[in-house]
Structure 1
Amino acid sequence: MEKGEVILLFDGRCGFCTRAIRWLKRWDRWDRIRPVPFQRPGAPEHYGLTREACEQAVWAITPNGARHRGASAILVAVGAALGCPWLQTLYRLPVFRPIADALYEWVAAHRGRLPGVRPYCEEHPEECT
């Protein structure tokens, strides 16, 4: 992954997702992650995505325009924040990928029941539709 800003489209109405974004930004020593709630008007379309795709999973868009969904997106974002691009290489391993994908899908399906904070869109209603 090349150096630069990674856009992270997340669910701004999700308290767990907002908490995860805050954690990630605390670890983002090089300010490489730019979280964007997918509820921001025009945000999904700007990055070539649909609202429906963003409702299903988090998305990371790298500086070269590559789009990553779900577990791959998390590993791209965490790798960028921590300066560990090898995390994306780890994801490509046949043994690791199905485990990471299954874990991500479980978390995504249960995110409304997981501990969180006040959702981003409640704190910044002017940014969300």
Structure 2
Amino acid sequence: MSYYVIYDGNCNLCVTLVQWLETFDRGQRFLYIPMQDEKALGQFQITAQDCERGMILLDADRPERRWQGSAAAEEIGNLLPAGNLFVAAYRALPGLKWSGDRIYEQMRDNRYTLFGKRDRTYHSQYPVCDAENCRMGSRVS
């Protein structure tokens, strides 16, 4: 299964996390779309207003299955090797998920102030769409 990670390509924190995932995953499970790529997002009926609520994770085979914000971060964690153990512990500890959701919202709403804004949008080395085409529903080899 493949997943599409929709991230803010102008946010330093977001780009750092995408680069970490790229290094770790090497395009095997995750492909990426910056929130600034309106053409690619339009193929999934995702608007700029949708992106204001945070990162989005789409199931490539069933794009109607989607997670957003802290739920997307948790699902990415679940998909990483042994990540489900950490996510389960995070969800099980009383109050931690609620606190994590609030922290995510604060970071999302203040990301440029807290982490800085890039001069240019970062485009992943494992994109869903490149200059020639889109790999909707297919894996990168």
Please, what TM-score do these two structures have when normalized by structure 1? 0.72
Q: Percent identity?
A: 23
Q: Which residue is 1:98 aligned to?
A: 98
Q: Over the residues paired in the alignment, what is the CA RMSD in angstroms?
A: 3.0
Alignment-mate amino acid for residue 16 of structure 2: R
SS in 2 for 1:56: coil
Bigger fraction of residues in helix:
1
Q: Which residue is 1:114 aligned to?
A: 114
Shift of 1:41: 3.1
Shift of 1:106: 1.3
CA deviation vs aligned residue, 1:11-69 (integer Å, no higher than 9, x gap): 11222211121122222267211121021132222223221111331100124331101
- In the TM superposition, 1:1-129 aligns within 5 A as 4-28=1-25, 31-63=28-60, 64-65=62-63, 66-82=65-81, 84-85=83-84, 95-115=95-115, 118=118, 121=121
Q: How many residues align?
A: 122
Structure 1 residues 121 and 32: CA distance shift in structure 2, 3 A: same
Which deviates the most, 6-15 or 36-45? 36-45
Which deviates the most, 58-67 or 109-118? 109-118
Please, what TM-score do these two structures have when normalized by structure 2? 0.67
Gaps of 5+ in 2: 125-129, 131-141
Name which one, 1 or 2, has greater alpha-carbon Rg: 2
